[in-house]
C-alpha cells in the first residue's frame, strides 16, 4: 500500500516574502481609534406557543417558565386592530356598484358623485395622467427586465392529424 504524499506548495510562503505596502488612507483607517459598538439589548419576549414549549421542559423549570410568560403577556397586552373606515360622506354601496360596473378604472366624475372630495378626485386624475405620460418609459423598463414580454405572440394552431389504423 502506498502512502499519500501531499504535494508541495507552489508559492514560496516563508519569512523572506516582503509584506504588502498599505496606502496611507488604508493605514489610517485601520489604525484609527474606533469606539466599541454598544449593541442594544433586546427585551425578552416569550413565544406564543409557550405552553407547548413548556411540555418538553423539566418539571422543576416548567412552572416558573409558564408563570413568567403569563406575567409578560399580562404586562404587554396585544394592540387592538386599527379601524379602517371609509372617508366621511362617501356612499359605500354606490362605490361598490361603480366597481362592479367599471371594474378598476372608474371615471373620476363618478367618484365625485359617490361622495369623494374634490382633492381625492384630483389625486386620481393626476395619478392616471402620470401613467399616461410615462407609459413609454414604463413599457421600456418592463421590456428591459423581462425581454419579449411586451411583444404579442401569435398563437400556433396545431392541426389534428388522423392516423389511419391498419385493418
Which long-range contacts link 122-131 to residues 24+ away (Cβ below 8 Å)? none
Average pLDDT over residues 108-122: 90
Q: How far apart are CA 81 and CA 19, in angstroms?
A: 63
CA within 13 Å, CB half, 66: 13
What are the C-alpha distances in Å from 106 to residues 86, 92, 97, 123, 125? 17, 14, 10, 14, 11
If one compares 142 and 154, the residue with the highest pLDDT of the two is 142
Q: What is the pLDDT of residue 16?
A: 57
pLDDT in tens, 37-73: 788 888 899 999 999 999 999 999 999 999 999 999 9
pLDDT in tens, 30-39: 887 777 778 8
Amino acid at each position: 500500500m502506498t502512502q499519500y504524499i501531499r504535494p508541495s506548495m507552489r508559492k514560496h510562503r516563508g519569512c523572506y516574502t516582503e509584506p504588502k505596502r498599505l496606502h496611507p488612507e488604508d493605514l489610517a483607517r485601520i489604525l484609527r481609534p474606533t469606539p466599541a459598538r454598544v449593541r442594544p439589548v433586546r427585551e425578552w419576549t416569550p413565544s406564543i406557543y409557550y405552553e407547548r414549549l413548556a411540555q418538553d421542559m423539566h418539571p422543576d423549570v416548567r412552572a416558573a417558565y409558564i408563570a413568567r410568560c403569563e406575567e409578560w403577556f399580562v404586562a404587554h397586552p396585544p394592540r387592538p386592530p386599527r379601524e379602517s373606515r371609509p372617508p366621511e360622506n362617501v356612499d359605500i354601496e354606490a362605490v361598490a356598484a361603480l366597481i362592479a360596473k367599471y371594474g378598476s378604472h372608474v371615471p373620476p366624475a363618478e367618484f365625485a358623485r359617490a361622495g369623494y372630495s374634490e382633492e381625492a378626485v384630483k389625486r386620481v386624475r393626476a395619478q392616471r395622467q402620470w401613467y399616461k405620460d410615462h407609459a413609454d418609459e414604463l413599457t421600456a423598463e418592463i421590456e428591459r427586465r423581462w425581454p419579449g414580454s411586451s411583444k404579442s405572440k401569435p398563437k400556433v394552431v396545431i392541426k389534428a392529424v388522423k392516423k389511419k389504423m391498419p385493418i
